[in-house]
Amino acid sequence: MEHAGKFYLGHLWKVPVYVGWEAAILLFFLYRTSAKLPADQMLVVITAALLTIFLHEMGHALVARTVGMGGISITISAMGGYCAYQPEPPPGRKILITMSGPLTNFALAGLSWLCLYYHIFAVDLVDVFVRAMLYWNLLLGIFNSIPLYPLDGGQIFHACAEAVTHSRPKANRAALIMSVIAAFGVVGWNAAQNHGQPDMMVVGFMLFLLFTAFQFLR
């Protein structure tokens, strides 16, 4: 079954939302990244991260529904989340659906920045929440824009390549080559930030994404 092993959370804007058991890995990662904060602030930061992921996927879902897709659902998983829909859209619609996730993040980051700039919220924990929303939305928006399949940037590149070549195999090859270049670029950038020594977690994550890209695009 399509949703076997997932927990149903409910519908929002007619979109069913699920959480996979592997989302525990995501929660552990978020806990580790915020463990040095006081307990109340840590809870706020983790909540902001989960909300950021959910709104990113909801951006995909709402645009998918707008352009006529069916079978739309959102699942929160170890990698953050994903939006499923049917059938496979043509390249133009695919680009619109895929772009909507990062654009949602950038819009929310801009809104968060405005709230901070104009000091709209004076309550300490609310301020922490808004700052966390700015951070997570910028991070997710920028990261997902990397042209590395299956990230949004990689899927957009693949759809553009298919629109230009009118060939799925050629688009697959182009997206795979770009994914390798992007992965090396990320590792190189990370190494430059750490005196020539890349973070092995970053290397491992890039290898995982490349493995996923090979699985889908070979």
- Whole-number Å distance between alpha carbons of 210 and 36: 32
Q: Across residues 66-73, what is the average pLDDT?
A: 96
Query: How many Cα atoms sit within 13 Å of 143 on the Cβ side?
Result: 15
Work out the end-to-end distance of the chain between its first and last CA atoms, rounded to an integer number of angstroms: 26
Best CA proximity match to 132, nearest among 57, 23, 41:
41
Residue-wise pLDDT tens digits, 115-124? 999 888 777 8
Q: In the chain, what are the domain boundaries?
A: 1-145, 147-218
pLDDT confidence tier of residue 2, bands split at 50, 70 and 90: low
Q: Per-residue confidence at 13, pLDDT binned at 50, 70, 90?
A: confident
C-alpha 126/C-alpha 129 separation (Å) is 5
Stretch 2-15: mean pLDDT, rounded? 85
pLDDT in tens, 128-138: 999 999 999 99
Give the least confident one: 30-34, 43-47, 152-156. Answer: 30-34
pTM of the shown model: 0.93
Q: Which of 169, 179, 14, 157 is nearest to 94 (CA)?
A: 157
Does residue 141 or residue 79 have the better pLDDT? Answer: 141
Reply yes or no on whether the pLDDT at 28 is more than 80: yes
Q: What is the mean pLDDT of the chain?
A: 94
Asked whether the beta carbons of 73 and 84 are under 8 A apart, the reply is yes
CA distances from 147 to 72, 157, 164, 180 (A): 24, 6, 17, 9
The answer, yes or no, to whether residue 186 has pLDDT greater than 90, is yes
**pLDDT for the residue 165:** 96
